[in-house]
């Protein structure tokens, strides 16, 4: 986690957290890397059930089973780190080749910084997170960045828990995948589902205003 703004006045501002994939940038890069990796594992161990499990919430169980066969001499943590390194490298290389920056969306979020702290919650590891932010020219965009540890599985809830432990609870979380929808509802964190591939800044601005009751009173 990196706090880029430590001014006491800034730290008193309420915090809005956003996901990277599907909000700042198309989720297709992660989806393509995931699908390719599952196909690769399925082929290497000769198990078609791995490919069938690629969209399952517990797909990582199949990944662990395959990695144990491919890397029998490595520990579980070493296998996970190795596999995630390969996966993230594919994501980054794909973004490099096909980057499409949605400046309307980033401008919308930037407009919130006068009154709110912005936090990034991502299951990318540290290296990948900052590489992608550099591509987006958004390295200093966020006041707080919380990412996945190299040895962790794909678990955004754990990343969000760390964010809250270190920085307090955000008043709003924005993501595409709905992985944290139930978590936010249980924790009384306002929640927005937003898909940058299908929506734009006008949609995002409208959703934020509705959730945070911005835009003034209608007299009722």
- At residue 100, the pLDDT reads 79
pLDDT digits (tens, 9 = 90+) for 76-100: 999 999 999 999 999 999 999 988 7
Our CA dihedral for 177, 178, 183, 187, rounded to 10 degrees, sits at 110
Confidence of residue 21 (pLDDT cuts 50, 70, 90): very high
Give the start-to-end residue ranges of the domains of the chain: 2-25+101-212, 29-98
DSSP string, 132-188: HHHHTT-TTS-SEEEEE-TT--S-HHHHHHHHHHHH---SEEEESS-TTHHHHHHTT
User: What tokens appear for 15 in the block?
Assistant: 């915090």
Query: pTM of this prediction?
Result: 0.86
Q: Is residue 14 pLDDT above 60, yes or no?
A: yes
Confidence of residue 66 (pLDDT cuts 50, 70, 90): very high
CATH of region 2-25+101-212, choose from 3.30.43.10, 3.40.50.1000, 3.30.465.10, 3.40.50.720: 3.40.50.1000
């Amino acid at each position: 986690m990196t706090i880029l703004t430590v001014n006491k006045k800034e730290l008193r501002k309420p915090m809005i957290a956003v996901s990277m994939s599907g909000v700042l940038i198309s989720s297709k890069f992660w989806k393509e890397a995931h699908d390719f990796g599952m196909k690769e594992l399925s082929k290497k161990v000769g198990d078609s059930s791995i490919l069938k499990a690629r969209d399952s919430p517990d797909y990582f169980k199949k990944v662990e089973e395959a990695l144990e066969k491919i890397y029998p001499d490595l520990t579980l943590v070493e296998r996970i780190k190795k596999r995630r390194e390969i996966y993230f490298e594919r994501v980054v290389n794909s973004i490099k080749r096909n980057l499409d920056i949605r400046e309307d969306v980033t401008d919308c979020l930037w407009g919130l910084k006068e009154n709110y702290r912005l936090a990034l919650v991502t299951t990318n590891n540290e290296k990948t997170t900052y590489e992608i932010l550099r591509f987006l020219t958004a390295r200093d965009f966020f006041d707080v960045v919380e990412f996945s540890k190299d040895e962790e599985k794909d678990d955004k809830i754990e990343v969000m828990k760390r964010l809250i432990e270190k920085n307090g609870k955000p008043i709003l979380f924005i993501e595409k995948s709905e992985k944290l929808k139930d978590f936010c509802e249980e924790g009384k964190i306002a929640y927005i589902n937003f898909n940058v591939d299908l929506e734009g800044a006008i949609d995002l601005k409208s959703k934020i205003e509705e959730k945070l009751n911005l835009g003034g009173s209608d007299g009722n």
